[in-house]
Chains A and B, each alone.
Chain A
Amino acid sequence: MALLEVRDACVRFAGLVALDGVSLSVSRGEIVGLIGPNGAGKTTLFNTITGLQHAGGGRVSFDGRDVTALSADRRARMGMGRTFQTPQLVARLTVYDNILLGCQARMRNGIFADGLRLPSSWRNEVLARREVDRVVASLGLGEHVHRGVGELPLGGRRLVEIARALCTNPRLLLLDEAASGIGREDAGGLAQLFRRIRREHDLSMLVVEHDVDFVLSLCDYVYVLDFGRVIARGTPDVVRSDPAVITAYLGEEVPRAAAG
């Protein structure tokens, strides 16, 4: 069974149809790409999968369990890690403490234990820091960890988000435009990094990208979204030559039917 199953997801914003019956699945160990023009509904689909956006219709199952009614934090604790198109970092915390946030749902020490610095507070802090040190070393963030997150360039902030998500021990990592803000020449390195993350952390990925070539070179399977619908799906080779995709991306060459 697939790790993630989306069936007929529908989302409407005040009359605007953002998702119109989208179905998608991600199998264990797979890197699945999601591409589509601006406003196609990629981020809305991400939010629907992770629970930040309530689905008006359809079903999301994760690891064989229907999670449609579960809150975003519950889904995260079940193993959905994600990054954001605009990095969502805590400006007042250092890079290191931002990454630590990823470990915190597993920690059990509460306000009382932390305020009195009870043994459970120390124990959990040490364990969490060990985990963060490992992820920081693996992503090569070492020299930046004690800086404020605001001092990092966009690419660095995206990497911090990935590190934070990895600290949640996700089984599915959803990356929202992780390659933007990183130079085209570094895209190859980034694809290598994603593959290494998949191997080392034994996880699946769902990747939203603007850069079609990047997605087609990275992913095992690709979905193409336009106007809230899946207009094409398949292996990169199949998608590359799909006429509907060419229409959506190179609309000026082939007249688009019923655009609006």
Chain B
Amino acid sequence: MIAAAPRDAVDRTVRAVLIGVFVVAALVAPSMLSASNLYLLSAGLAYSLAVLSLVVLVGLVGQFSLAQAAFMGVGALTAGHLVSDAHVPFLLAVPLGGLAAVPIGMVAALPALRVRGVYLAVATLSFGQALDTLFFHTAVNGGSAGGGVPLPRPAALSGAVGYYWFELAVLLGCIAFVCMMRSRRSGRNLAAVRDSEAAALSVGISVVWAKVGAFALSAFIAGVAGVLYAGLSEVASGASFSSFDSISLLAVGVIGGLGSAAGAVIAGVLKTMAPVLIAKLPGVASAGELVGVVFGAGLVLQMMTAPLGIASKLLDGERALAARVRTAVVHRQRAAADRAAEVPG
């Protein structure tokens, strides 16, 4: 969705139909899944949101970050304290958790103003690791045993299906925000900074503020994702948001495709659901250890056939579909014009 914006009515119709199919599938999923698989899918949606925060950085402005899990942790722990200590309503604690991660994200952006690529990855990794070590396991945050901070859900969201729908709504809202931002001034600024900093500077775009702004938005989304993830188990625990989780988010993000929101959704869901799906394959179900092997083989295959992520293949398919529809429309119009020409007068 970020790689190529719809250009005409056919593109928009095809896009709307595909989004409709996705939403319907997402809505019927809870009734098709067992309780444990619904839990995994709900966790997947929280990870989808976390990968969306990476899409903002990697896809839109071309910056890497391995601090995303730390942003999630800041959001989750903040929300936990707000709800259990300050008795702030859960629904308010979700955006506040995201906001708490924003200044952290802006600090994490500082290395991005000087270095890029692998150096930036290492700098943000260290930043996330520092947060993890210094704050996530203090006594007030549940201690080193990983006890965590309680994050009880309100009665309206206490059910597994209700919470899944809540997560879905937040995810779709954030995707809409990112896509709408992308095609306006801020999004074009980010694209300019990504493709040519010299060009951005030459028209007066502040590269510094574009990067800091992108990190701020990314941290907000990641913070909200952290709250959603912690809300699922009703405990915000720093142990869920280690540097290893940041790395694994980037890995699944690459698999799903960091150029588009669709890639983020695919990545997050795959992260939790892939083992379940693989276990359903004939012959694999009986041998649990085969799951990892099949998953690894699938990854290698995917990197060979779709190096830009699964979503890029989907978007190719969408374009092909739109092209077929367009041809069909042209044929029908031509046929109608021919018929009209045959009628005299």
Contacts and interface: CB of A to CB of B under 8 A. Distances in A.
| Chain A interface category by residue count | 35 or more
A102 B203 contact: yes
Interface string A120-156: 0100110010000000000000000010000000000
Interface in B172-231: 177-178, 180-181, 184-189, 191-192, 194-196, 198-207, 213, 216-217
A167 to B, nearest CB: 8
Contacts of B186: 109-111, 114-115
Interface in A234-249: none
A211 B8 CA distance: 42
Given A90-B195, A91-B195, A117-B180, A51 B201 contact: yes
A165 B177 CA distance: 29
Interface of B: 3, 7, 177-178, 180-181, 184-189, 191-192, 194-196, 198-207, 213, 216-217
Q: Which of A72, A100, A146 has the largest number of chain B CB atoms within 10 A?
A: A72
B180 A114 contact: yes
Contact of B203 (A52, A76, A116): A76
A258 to B, nearest CB: 34
A125 B185 contact: yes
B206 A73 contact: yes
A105 interface: yes
A104 B201 CA distance: 11
Given A88-B196, A90-B191, A146-B7, A107 B203 contact: no
Nearest to A74: B204
A65 interface: no
A111 B217 contact: yes
B185 A73 contact: no
Contacts of A77: 204
Contacts of B201: 51-52, 71-73, 76
Contacts of A102: 203
Contacts of A111: 181, 186, 213, 216-217
B306 to A, nearest CB: 19
Given A72-B202, A84-B198, A114 B187 contact: yes
Nearest to B193: A90
Given A90-B191, A111-B181, A104 B203 contact: yes
Contacts of A107: 185
A105 B202 CA distance: 10
A124 B189 CA distance: 14
B184 A125 contact: yes
A89 B196 contact: yes
5 contacts: A90-B191, A93-B188, A109-B186, A125-B184, A165-B203
